[in-house]
Amino acid sequence: MKSLILVGAALVLLGILGLAIPVFTTSQTKDVAKVGDLKVQANEQSTHVVPESLSGGAIVLGGVLILAGLLKR
């Protein structure tokens, strides 16, 4: 019961966050070459987009879970 409400609330918050910040970038360091003790690294940035339908679905599913948790009491 209480766990359904908590999971639902977390989904609603993640959905709202996905709508508020739909694009984010991540950075990853990769080893390009290694010769003896010398190591050459490259920093690669990737852009990720959160679809609006995914954020909206998370909000709706979270709301359903919250209602189910409240009605089970």
Task: Give the global pTM.
Answer: 0.74
Contact residues for 7 (Cβ-Cβ < 8 A; gap 6+): 62, 65
Query: What residue segments make up the domains of the chain, in order of their start?
Result: 2-72
Question: Hey, what's the torsion of the CAs at 5, 10, 14, 17, to 10 degrees?
Answer: 100
Angle between helices 2-20 and 52-72 (to 10 degrees): 160
Q: What is the pLDDT of residue 72?
A: 85
Tokens of 28: 């990853």
Question: For the chain, give me the number of helices (H) and strands (E)?
Answer: 2, 2
15-73: per-residue pLDDT in tens? 999 999 999 999 999 988 998 889 999 999 999 999 999 999 999 999 999 999 999 87
